[in-house]
Amino acid sequence: DQQVKQNSPSLSVQEGRISILNCDYTNSMFDYFLWYKKYPAEGPTFLISISSIKDKNEDGRFTVFLNKSAKHLSLHIVPSQPGDSAVYFCAASVYGGATNKLIFGTGTLLAVQP
């Protein structure tokens, strides 16, 4: 039972354009969401997060949008750069639930073409 789903295994965009990565979740108890970025032969690294009390969080070129009613979040990268090419994982948790347990999706491979 995949509680966090990333239905697009891969995405290709041109440099300078917008990249939109999507994530859906099924557990309504989730109230904190994170995006991680992973380069080949390295561990995932934290990129950006959002609490369920917000619907948008921005950090430079990266913006995460949360639609609680649809149980959907998306990561926007504007403008996309070749160095953004990586696998992006969406993760969810119950914040303050006496645990740091994260549930990850299957990842989306982003390729930014020069």
Q: In the complex, which residues of this chain contact another protein (CB under 8 A)?
A: 2, 6, 32, 34, 36, 41-46, 49, 89, 91, 93, 95-107
81-98 burial by CB neighbour count: b if 16+ within 10 A, else e?
eeebbbbbbbbbbbeeee
Q: Which tokens belong to 8? A: 């697009």
Residue 84 DSSP class = G
Smallest distance, another protein to C-beta of residue 81, A: 23
* Closest CB 56 distance from another protein, rounded Å: 18
Residue 74 or residue 106: which is nearer to another protein going by CB? 106
CB of 104 to another protein, least distance (A): 4
Rounded to an integer, what distance in angstroms lies between the CA atom of residue 80 and that of residue 37? 14
Nearer to another protein, 29 or 78 (CB): 29
